[in-house]
């Protein structure tokens, strides 16, 4: 996956800088656990969650920045 040149969290969505971490049809799940992109202590990654609604629309969450201790 290419790195984001500016690193700004408000950069527009660029599909070439994105990857799918998981897919689930469990609409009752309130959490998702992963260590994707966080393999090394001290590393930071930003994530967004996208869902497809029952009407076929796509909705995205706010960006969340996670740092591995």
Q: pLDDT per residue over 13-31, tens digit each?
A: 666 777 787 777 777 877 8
Q: How many angstroms from the chain centroid is the CA of residue 55?
A: 22
pLDDT of residue 12: 57
- Name the pLDDT band for 60 (thresholds 50, 70, 90): confident
> What was the pLDDT predicted at 7?
44
Which residues touch 44 (CB under 8 Å, ≥6 apart)? Answer: 65, 66, 67, 68
The 10s digit of each residue's pLDDT in 39-55 is 899 998 888 888 777 88
Question: How many whole angstroms from its chain centre is CA 52?
Answer: 15
3-state SS class at 59: strand
Decide: helix, strand or coil at residue 17. helix
Picking from 19-23, 54-58, 63-67, which range would have the lowest pLDDT averaged per residue?
A: 19-23
């Amino acid at each position: 996956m290419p790195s984001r040149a500016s690193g700004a969290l408000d950069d527009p969505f660029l599909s070439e800088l994105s990857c799918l971490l998981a897919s689930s049809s469990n609409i009752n799940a309130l959490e998702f656990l992963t260590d994707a992109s966080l393999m090394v202590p001290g590393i930071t990654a930003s994530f967004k969650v996208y869902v497809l609604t029952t009407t076929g629309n796509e909705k995205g969450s706010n960006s969340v920045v996670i740092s591995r201790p």
